[in-house]
Every structure is written in C-alpha cells, then in structure tokens.
A and B are shown apart, each in its own frame.
Chain A
C-alpha cells in the first residue's frame, strides 16, 4: 500500500462532512446498507491512498469514486453471495420501531423503492441519484463518463422508468 497524502485529522474531518450523504447515495444505489458502508469506507480509503492529481472538488471526487466502487462491489457481492449460498437476507438495515405495523409498512416501501431502482441500469441510476444529491449536470457527466448534454436525457429516461416501476399515478405526481 502506498503512503497516504492525508493525515488522520484531515481525513477524519472530510469523513465527518461527507459520510452521511455518501452513505445515503450508496445505500440507494446498492439497496444494501451493509454494502453501502463498505462503499463509503472504500471511497475514503481510495482518497487516502490515491487522491487525484488535481485538487478538484473533493465532494464530487468522492461520489465519483463511490459510484465506481458501488458498481464493482455490487457485482462482486452478488457473485460471492451466490457462490456461498449465504442464508442471510441482505435487506436494508432494519430499524426497529415501537409500532410493528409502521415498521412493516416502511419495510415494504423500501423493498418497493429498491426493486424499482434495480430496474435502472447502473449509469441511469447513478445519474438520477447524483441529481438528488444536488450535483450539476457537468459533475454527473464526469462521474458516469458521458457528455453534459446527455445527462438531461438520461435523467428523463430514468425518471420515466422509475415512475412506471413505482406505479406512480397522476394523483401521485
């Protein structure tokens, strides 16, 4: 492992600033809270080991790294799970509430959203979810390797597809 350009204090501060939003993005992207945690840790590991040559915006760099890691890791994890025939269901992290009915409702909603997101191809999913995090089309384009102009088209396609899979009606929108 090569040496890091970051020391503990600085890396810790950047982690404090960005880990929540990065986790939210990764959890939505992968549909798996445990995996999302790995993605976040791996993104910061890469930042510490191989920061980009140019001092560009760290936030955009982290999301770009997380996107790449999430795609790779998700693929690997699915393969590993299949090979190991793991019995544990990797649903998003359960949040135990006092009201079982409400918890069940929430679990259903999560399953519904996760299933719908899985219908998008990885690039469309990344584009849509990075938009949700407030990134400009130029930053999104750099993250997924496309032109800035194509991002609008990809977002429109992703929104339409997601709305269909979520069975959103006119009254919902």
Chain B
C-alpha cells in the first residue's frame, strides 16, 4: 500500500492485483484510484499486470488436457451420525442452489439427485446401499477394473504376517481378490493404484492381485520398505511378496 501522503510511493504489485481482483475495501480502493488518477506509471503497471494475467490465462487454457471420463472410484460405507446428517443437508442445499442457476436439463438431473440425497438425510427408505462406486465387483470378494497408465502401484501400509500374490494375466483388467474369495478389507481403488488401508494384526489375509500384460511395471510399496518393481512379460508369471517383518 502507499504511504500516508499517497504521493511519494507507487502502488505495490500486490495492491495492484487486489485492485484488479476487487479485493480492496472501499477506502483502500478510493485511495488507489486517487493515486492512479495522477500517476501514469501506476496506470501502465496496472495494465501490464492485467495483460500478463490475461495472456497467461489464454496459455493455460490452450495447454489444458481434456478431463478423462473416469468414474469415481471410492469405496463408500455410510455411517448415520448427526454430523453425517448435517453434512448431507448442507450438500443438498448446495445442490439446490446449483440447480437453480443451471440449464433446464441439468436442473432436472440435479433436482433428482437432490431429492434422493434429501431422502437419505431424512431417513427415507430409498437410501442407497453402500457399494464400491462404480467399480463393479466381478464376483463375490473380487473387484475388477481397467487401470490408467502403464505403471501400477500396490500399496500396503505396514508389514503383517500375510502375502501379496501378483499374477500376470491376458486382457486389460486388474482384479483384486482376498483370501478364499472373501471381500478385501480396506481396499481403495485409484486409477493407477490399489491400497490396502487396513493392515491386519495377527494373521492377515493374503491379497491376490491379477495384473494385465498391458502394464509395463508394477510398484509394490509396503510401509517404509524400499520400492519393489515387477515387470510382467508373459501371462501366468507369478510373484509372492511376503508382507511380514523383514528377516
């Protein structure tokens, strides 16, 4: 900001940005406008900042990549608490506000979503059942999906007396199966990664991860251990990675 007299010092660059962005109080804005009315240098600097911002915005937009149509891949297990209800209610309000300004087809869709969400707030019987979203369980105890990219990571947070068994298969899908076909506890699926978030004490489950040959490398991350990298070459290759404490 300027000094007391408003005359001797030029407007600093941060204030020019605040001025352009409409972030100044009325008093500060009046002081800067007054200075600008007498200072060609500051007017030129303000226009230079505007020009830079505008040119950079154009370049960023030109360089943007198209967002992929990847669906949400988050395992959701709802718990009904007062905080949950408060959150849902707030989110429904946000959806309704968004719906009010949206184009008619979008508004109708948002209205449907908000109605369903409100039903869950009020304990309606249509409340959806917890599921993996929208990674389809191929069969009981298994999750199967197409990974993004050529590198895939399998993360286990801490050693436990169990194993990760990785097998290379034909096709383009990763599948994750727990011991004896049981659901995999604490599994999180990301576009190029699976995480087992619940390391088991005692004897943990074995994890079977089938990886496609389309992947060039599989990173195994176990707690703080060094990264291990597998490179599948032929279908049927199998690696057994013990999770237990190092010997």
Contacts and interface: CB of A to CB of B under 8 A. Distances in A.
B232 to A, nearest CB: 14
A25 to B, nearest CB: 10
A132 B60 CA distance: 9
A29 to B, nearest CB: 11
B133 A12 contact: yes
B37 to A, nearest CB: 21
Given A159-B52, A162-B56, A149 B14 contact: yes
B107 interface: no
A97 B229 CA distance: 34
A95 to B, nearest CB: 6
A78 interface: no
Interface stretch (B80-88, B165-173, B204-212, B236-244): B80-88
A152 B217 contact: no
B72 A156 contact: no
A1 interface: yes
Interface residues of B, number: 81
Interface of A: 1-15, 17, 19-20, 23-24, 27-28, 33-34, 37-38, 41-42, 44-45, 48, 51, 53, 55, 57-58, 80, 83-84, 86-88, 92-93, 95, 106, 109-110, 112-114, 128, 131-132, 136-137, 148-157, 159-160, 162-163, 166, 168, 172-173
A43 to B, nearest CB: 10
Nearest to B221: A80
Interface of B: 12-18, 21, 23, 48-49, 51-57, 59-60, 62-68, 70, 72-79, 81, 83-84, 86-92, 94-95, 98, 110, 113-114, 116-117, 120, 127-128, 130-131, 133-134, 148-151, 153, 186, 188, 190-193, 197-198, 216-217, 219, 221, 226-227, 229
Contacts of A37: 68, 70, 148, 190-192
Query: Helix, strand, loop or mixed for chain A's interface?
Result: helix
Please classify the interface of chain B as helix (H, G, I), strand (E, B), loop, or mixed, using the class held by over half of its residues: mixed
Nearest to A162: B56
Nearest to A76: B221
Nearest to A153: B14
B133 A152 contact: no
Given A12-B113, A57-B94, A152-B16, 17 more contacts: A1-B75, A1-B77, A2-B79, A6-B88, A8-B76, A8-B130, A15-B72, A17-B98, A33-B65, A37-B190, A38-B192, A45-B188, A80-B153, A84-B217, A137-B23, A148-B23, A163-B56
Contacts of A33: 65, 68
